[in-house]
Structure 1
Amino acid sequence: MKLCIYPGTFDPFTNGHLDVLQRAAKLFKHVRVAVAIDSTKKPLFSPEKRVELIRANLRGLPNVDVTSFDGLLVEFARKEKAVAIIRGLRALSDFEFEFNMALMNRHLEPKVETIFVMPNESYSYTSSSLVKQIAKLGGDVRKFVPANVAQALRKAYPKK
Structure 2
Amino acid sequence: MSKAVFPGTFDPPTYGHLNLIKRASLLFDSIDVLISVNPDKKTLFSEEERFNLLTELTKDFSNVTVHKWNGLVVDYCAKAGSKVLLRGIRNTVDFSYEFDLSLMNRSLDSEVETLFMPTEQKYFLIRSSSIKEVARLGGNISLMVPPAVEKALKEKYNIKI
Paired amino acid for 1:92 = T
Q: Secondary structure at the match of 1:77?
A: helix
Distance across 2 between alignment mates of 1:27 and 1:110? 22
Q: Does 1:58 align with 2:49?
A: no
Distance across 2 between alignment mates of 1:39 and 1:57? 24
Shift of 1:159: 3.1
Paired amino acid for 1:136 = R
Distance across 2 between alignment mates of 1:35 and 1:59? 16
Q: Does 1:100 align with 2:100?
A: yes
Distance across 1 between alignment mates of 2:76 and 2:48? 18
Q: Secondary structure at the match of 1:49?
A: helix
Distance across 2 between alignment mates of 1:22 and 1:64? 9
Q: Secondary structure at the match of 1:56?
A: helix
Instruction: Give 4+ residue runs of structure 1 displaced > 4 Å after superposition.
Output: none
Distance across 2 between alignment mates of 1:138 and 1:11? 18
The alignment yields a C-alpha RMSD, in angstroms, of 1.1
Q: Secondary structure at the match of 1:75?
A: helix
Distance across 2 between alignment mates of 1:53 and 1:159? 19
Cα deviation code 1:66-100 (max 9, x no counterpart): 01100111111111111100000011110111000
Cα deviation code 1:34-56 (max 9, x no counterpart): 00101221101111110110111
Unaligned stretches of 5+ in structure 1?
Answer: none
Kept in 2, the 8 Å contact 1:23–1:117? The answer is no
Distance across 1 between alignment mates of 2:86 and 2:159? 36
Distance across 2 between alignment mates of 1:54 and 1:73? 18
Shift of 1:150: 0.4
TM-score, normalised with respect to structure 2? 0.96
State the partner residue of 2:21.
21
Distance across 2 between alignment mates of 1:24 and 1:18? 10
State the partner residue of 1:149.
149
Structure 1 residues 78-87 or 55-64, which shifts more?
55-64
Kept in 2, the 8 Å contact 1:85–1:112? The answer is yes
Unaligned stretches of 5+ in structure 2?
Answer: none
State the partner residue of 1:83.
83
Distance across 1 between alignment mates of 2:33 and 2:103? 21
Distance across 1 between alignment mates of 2:51 and 2:159? 25
Aligned residues: 160
State the partner residue of 2:37.
37
Identity %: 39
